[in-house]
Amino acid sequence: MKASPENQRTLLDIADLDRRIQQTERARTQPSQGERINELAGIRQQQVGELTALTGVLDDARSELARVESDVALATQRRDRDAERLAAATDPKQAQALENEIASLARRISMLEDTELDIMGNVEEAQAAVDAQRALIDQTQAEGSQLTAAAKADIAAATTEGEHLTRDRAALAESVAPDLIADYERRASRGIAVGLLRGGVCEGCRMMLSGTDLNEVRRAASDDVVSCPECGAILVRTDESGL
C-alpha cells in the first residue's frame, strides 16, 4: 500500500486521539467514584438491616413499658378504691381484709414501679442505639450523595471531552486517504495499529528491530506503508527513526 508520509504521520495523531477517546469513555462509563459508591450502597443496606433490628428492640421495650405502666395504673386504681371502701367500712373483719389487700397492693405497686424504672432505662438505651444507627446511615447517605454528584459531574465532563475528541478525530481522518484509514482501523481492531519508529525501536510495541528488518525498512520508499515485524503496526518513519 502507498500513502504519503504526511498521511502516515497523521495516523500517530489519530492514534493519540483514539487513546484519549478510550480514556474518556472509561471515565464516562466507569467513574472513579463508582467502586466506593457501590461499597457504600452495601454498607447502607447492612446498616438499614441493623436499624430494623434495633428498632424492634426499642418497640419491644416500649411495649413492655406500656404493659407495666398499665399494671401500675390498675393496681393504683384498685388500691385507691380499697382505701375508699376502708374509710367507709364498719365491719372490723372487712376493714382488716381491706387493710391487708391495700398493703399487698402497695408492695405490688412498688415492685412494678421499680420494674418500670428499669424498663425506662432499657427504652432510653434502645432509643440511643436507634439514634446512633440513624446517624450512621445519614453519614453513609451523605457520603454517597456527595460521591454521586461528583461522579455525575465527571461523567458529564468526560462526555463533553469525548465529543470534542471525536470531532477532532473525524476531521483528521478526513485528511487521510480512505484506504490508509481503513487499514489503520483494521489493525486497531486487532491490536496495535501504528507506531513511530524511533532509533530503530517501534514505539507501538517497544521492540528493537533487527538489523535485517531495519535494512528492509531502509529500502522501502517513503510512501510505502511498512509494518513492524513484531506487532504488525504501521511503522511511521521520521528523521528520528535511525535509518
CATH of the domain at 102: 1.10.287
How far is residue 141's CA from residue 40's CA, in Å, rounded to a whole number? 8
pLDDT of residue 242: 81
Check: CB of residue 231 under 8 Å from CB of residue 205: yes
Q: Which three cell numbers stand for residue 74?
A: 390498675
Check: CB of residue 196 under 8 Å from CB of residue 11: no
Residue 81 lies in a domain: yes
pLDDT of residue 175: 95
Give the rounded percent of residues in the chain with a pLDDT score beyond 90.
93
142 pLDDT higher than 90: yes
pLDDT digits (tens, 9 = 90+) for 5-19: 999 999 999 999 999
**Residues 104, 204: one domain?**
no
Comparing 57-66, 82-91, 106-115, the range with the smallest average pLDDT is 82-91
**Residues 143, 78: one domain?**
yes
**Residues 130, 34: one domain?**
yes
The whole-model pTM stands at 0.74
pLDDT digits (tens, 9 = 90+) for 93-120: 998 998 999 999 999 999 999 999 999 9
pLDDT of residue 243: 77
**Residues 38, 152: one domain?**
yes
Pick 95 or 52 by higher pLDDT: 52
pLDDT digits (tens, 9 = 90+) for 157-207: 999 999 999 999 999 999 999 999 999 999 999 999 999 999 999 999 999
- On the 0-12 / 13-18 / 19+ scale of CB atoms within 10 A, 16 is middle
**DSSP 8-state assignment for residue 168:** H
Mean pLDDT of the chain: 95
**Residues 142, 203: one domain?**
no
**Which residues form the domain of 44?**
28-158
| CA distance to 73, 74, 106, 110, per residue, from 84 (Å) | 17, 15, 15, 20
**Residues 154, 42: one domain?**
yes
Residue 169 lies in a domain: no
Residue 163 lies in a domain: no
**Residues 37, 108: one domain?**
yes
Q: Which three cell numbers stand for residue 6?
A: 504526511
| Domains of the chain: total | 2
Residue 130 lies in a domain: yes
**DSSP 8-state assignment for residue 207:** E
Secondary structure of residue 237 in the 3-state scheme: strand
Confidence of residue 88 (pLDDT cuts 50, 70, 90): confident
